[in-house]
Structure 1
Amino acid sequence: MSKFTEVAKTEELKSGTMKKVSAEGREILLARVGDKYYATDDRCLHRKGDLSQGKLEGTVVTCPVHGSQFDVSTGQVVRWLKGGLMSKLGGAFKMSRALRVYNVKVEDGKVLVEFLCAAPRGQLYFSWAGKASPWGKNRVDPFPGGIKWTRTLAQSLRSTRYPSNSTPSLNNF
């Protein structure tokens, strides 16, 4: 189920500008490029930088903290960190992933954002097979890092503790 929520008036944003809005308990980055409006989560996924304080060039927003760039129209990573030592260290500890994006529509001078009960882009989600998870009953929980992280974990488990014909369970950790 989804619902559209008013987050701004059309006259609040000029083309090429963005701002932070709060709605449905979330901080949203609202950007206007030409006559189109885009909405994503406002926090960078690396160090939680406030993207609304960054720089918008076309549809690309740059995080003011470490220079990561995201396309606000798709949420996809354009550049993960700015380069140099920070890029190498940051990439080793936290893999890049896309921002959650929201559907936007304009009606009667109002900018409306659709809030869904769905997984954000760029994350792999798993359920606890009908059992209560450690974080709450019947909740679907994020598995950070997505498929690359999963492969790395599987390779590590195979090469260290577990023979290739066994499957570890969460009880092993």
Structure 2
Amino acid sequence: MATVVVQQPLGKYGMESWNSAICDCGEDLSSCCYAYWCLPCFMCSTTGEFGESTCLPLVDILGPAVMAAFGVAICIPPVGLAMRVAVRYKYQIGGSICEDIMVSCCCICCSWCQMNREIKARKKSIRIVQTNPVMQPLPMAVNPQVVAMQQPMVISAAPGEVGPAVQMTTINTVAM
């Protein structure tokens, strides 16, 4: 099987850009509604899709309450910011930490929706399977004593490798 990699448009600094803008919730309305009505659950499911612990966003929820009890004010959600930076780093998306801080502080729900859309878009892969036609057997009129049996054998590239699928035919000969 051959795997086709679709490149994203390049953003600032020669890196890729986000697949969707921060306020493009209309592209995935069900996720937007899920985030709006139950942001903690949405945050947990998004971190799970990204491959991190699903309990990680609970720090954003419980962290400010614990810190306020000790008299320390937190205005930047640490997990939201860390996830945004991790998504940018993993998918090589251009941007800066200042942009991430502003988005995480001002539009946390939109930030999580954008990260979710990006993770879903990057998980989709396009696969093209190439098959070659079966070759016709050669006529055996030259030597009638040879009996040929054909057994088709398909060899393809392993998952993750790039290469066309190849179909080969083996011929077993028996001399009389």
TM tier, smaller: under 0.3
Task: State the TM-score, normalizing by the size of structure 2.
Answer: 0.24
Question: Which structure would you say has the larger Rg?
Answer: 2
Of structures 1 and 2, the one scoring higher in RCO (CA 8 A, sep 6+) is 2
Which structure has more helix as a fraction of its residues? 2
TM-score normalised by length of structure 1: 0.24
